[in-house]
Amino acid sequence: MQDSLISQQVASYLDRLVPPRDALTARLEEEAAESDFPIIGPACGHLCYLLARLTGARQVFELGSGFGYSTAWFARAVRENGGGTVHHVVWDEALSVRARKYLGELGFADTVTFHVGEAVATLDAAVGPFDLVFNDIDKSGYPHSLGVIERQLRPGGLLIADNLLWSGRIFDSADRSLGTEGIRQFTQLVFASPQWSGSIVPIRDGLLVARRA
């Protein structure tokens, strides 16, 4: 992977502005950095929390949830919005178990519903509509996911998608890898569609924030 488009100085500054997290979350941030496990990080996590609070989201669906780091930010927002459900979805049972432990220790066990399976198919089968969908699956799957998201997201609902700048690989015309092409196609679909009004926030690896018409 190429170096981040955001300078380390700026990234570190933005992360330092985020209010202090609990000790468990801070430790998991350190572990993720040491093991190079992809999490959205403090600045993006806090932005997701803020967007969920601003929109009053109470039903949130995550496409690709990892060990629950982003889930915790959404769960906190949902609880403060009056309660609801955050759907955590991963392929791997061991990762789901790790997320259950982490989110349980944070006190969010009653706010999160856990699924093990393919994320887009799980969303397609879920009972919606949802107020907010967070997309962080394999990038080759981004284009296919959009139609399902449109069907399951309520009018006026919010789509947040990670990695829209893809560490700069989208600017390399020679890069025709499935992930890079998936990001390109997904971006074009969103910004060409009357169903969406969005913007890419150039934070971390590029965070799409889009409102469904």
Mean pLDDT on 18-44:
86
What is the torsional sign of CA 193, 198, 202, 208? negative
Quick: pLDDT tens for 82-120: 999 999 999 999 999 999 999 999 999 999 999 999 999
Quick: pLDDT tens for 144-193: 999 999 999 999 999 999 999 999 999 999 999 999 999 999 999 999 99
The predicted model scores a pTM of 0.93
CATH of 8-212, one of 3.40.50.150, 3.40.190.10, 3.40.50.1240, 3.10.20.590: 3.40.50.150
